[in-house]
Structure 1
Amino acid sequence: MAIFEIKKATKSIQNGPKEQKILLNQLDLTINQGDFITVLGGNGAGKSTLFNTISGTLPLTSGQMFLEGKEVTQLAEEKRARFIARVFQDPKMGTAPRMTVAENLLLAQQRGEKRQLIFRQLKQQKDYFYTLCQSIGNGLENHLDTPTGHLSGGQRQALSLLMATIKSPQLLLLDEHTAALDPKTAKQLMEITNQRINEQNLTCLMITHRMEDALKYGNRLILLQKGEIIKDLSQSEKEKLTLSDLLHFFEETIF
């Protein structure tokens, strides 16, 4: 069943007084329930633009978007937050640095809900937050009362992932969420990411520059070039690829 559909999505911007630059070009994409789609593409391929238009931070020039058959093309970003969660490349972007780990998780629990004055009931949630953080396996549970700005980059990204998935969003966007981490920490976070996606049966799009991760994780792989999807590979097609195949494809078609 299709969770999210993109039809003829086009985004253009003014690039000088007489030139328009096409960022997305008549892009079509159907995202089905339970899909874990890895997204590859060179600089300027349209990866970030695609995520920004899906999340609502960037309006389309033309085209349509549908959530479970209902058009959401004009829906505001804050309203899309009810069903879309996103983890950014920069560990600082997904959390509030002066708030503690527990306070950040409590805030994430209220994502997409109507704002009103209520008691926080933070103490009542501490045991749940401890167990949730303990499942990550990086000691985050010992920092529930620590301001997020004092965490390591890996812990902060793990917290961002927990915050994004605490309410099981209908669509999860991972925007190069391991790119700013060292290789060991990035590997650990990817294993945690895959575990949470599988356990919660989440639907996910993940931009990555790590071709090993693109081959290892997910059931689909799409390749972007100049705002168009030039390859949409299924699980079986992806399993036949080697790292050398993918690198060669990049050299021939993208770079």
Structure 2
Amino acid sequence: MSVLLIEHAIKKIRNGVADERTILNDVSLTLNSGDFVTIVGGNGAGKSTLFNTVTGTLPLNGGQVFLDGKNVTNLGEEKRAKYLGRVFQDPKMGTAPRMTVAENLLLAERRGQKRLLRSRKLNERKAYFKELCAKVGNGLEDHLDTPTGHLSGGQRQALSLLMATIERPELLLLDEHTAALDPKTSKNIMSLTNDLVAENNLTCMMITHQMEDALKYGNRLLLLKKGAIVKDLNKAEKEKLTLTDLLLFFEEDL
């Protein structure tokens, strides 16, 4: 059974009374368990719109979305959240700034559970959280009691990634999650990402403008243009691509 199935997705927006624009044009896509799909495309190609229709942020004008075999087309964001983990481009979007690192992790660990009036037992989880953060390699384990708003951008994005994967999601969505980071930090976050995906056998989609990352990571590559998937390359096809091939795709998009 597929983790994600999109059938003939159509999304249109109106820029004026008579100006209608199609931003997803009959998109169909299947992700099976363990797929790590990298997605590239120019501005306005439909990449973020694709993610937002999966999460329920944007309703479709036509087509259907299935998560883990369940038709979620008419379900809102809150109903789909139990299936998904998402990391955004902005490190500030994935964490609560006034809560400590440990508190953020505890909140993520209980995602989807019923809220009850009981002791949160934070101290009992700190040893595990310290061990988890130590895998990152940027000193995050020494900041369990630090408010997240005081962290560096790289530490905060690493925390966002840990939070998105601490309770194994059916589908992990990475929305240009290294774009706001410096090259060294971006490289470290991508290495952490690859390790987490592999260790937990996660099914993942990653939007990126870093062509080297698009080629290096994942077992599939999607190329989007004008709201449509124009190429869906498997691992063998992807390995034959060069950086020049990808750059040429963008030149043709002009």
TM-score (norm 2): 0.98
SS in 1 for 2:107: helix
Q: In the TM superposition, what whole-angstrom CA distance separates every residue of 1:2-56 from its partner, at most 9, and x where no partner exists?
A: 1110001011111111111111111000011100000001000001100111011
- Within 2, Cα distance between the matches of 1:68 and 1:175? 21
Q: How does 1:188-207 map to 2 (within 5 A)?
A: 188-207=188-207
Instruction: Please say which of residues 203-212 and 15-24 is displaced more in the overlay.
Output: 15-24
- Within 2, Cα distance between the matches of 1:19 and 1:249? 28
SS in 2 for 1:66: strand
How far apart are residue 69 of structure 1 and its match?
2.4
Amino acid in the other structure paired with 1:124:
E
SS in 1 for 2:137: coil
Q: How does 1:167-246 map to 2 (within 5 A)?
A: 167-246=167-246
Q: How does 1:137-152 map to 2 (within 5 A)?
A: 137-152=137-152
Report what 1:91 is aligned to. 91
SS in 2 for 1:81: helix
SS in 1 for 2:91: coil
How far apart are residue 78 of structure 1 and its match?
1.0
Q: In the TM superposition, what whole-angstrom CA distance separates every residue of 1:226-254 from its partner, at most 9, and x where no partner exists?
A: 110000000000000110111112211x2
> Identity over aligned residues, as a percent?
69
Report what 2:4 is aligned to. 4
How many aligned residue pairs are there? Answer: 254
Report what 1:165 is aligned to. 165
SS in 2 for 1:24: strand
How far apart are residue 103 of structure 1 and its match?
0.2
Amino acid in the other structure paired with 2:154:
G
How far apart are residue 110 of structure 1 and its match?
1.2
Amino acid in the other structure paired with 2:185:
T
> What value does the CA root-mean-square deviation take over the aligned residues?
0.8
- Within 2, Cα distance between the matches of 1:70 and 1:144? 37
Give 5+ residue unaligned stretches, structure 1: none
Instruction: Please say which of residues 122-131 and 12-21 is displaced more in the overlay.
Output: 12-21
- Within 2, Cα distance between the matches of 1:59 and 1:27? 14
TM-score (norm 1): 0.98
Report what 2:25 is aligned to. 25
How far apart are residue 214 of structure 1 and its match?
0.2
Q: Which runs of 4+ in 1 moved over 6 A?
A: none
Report what 2:124 is aligned to. 124
Report what 2:63 is aligned to. 63
- Within 2, Cα distance between the matches of 1:6 and 1:116? 36
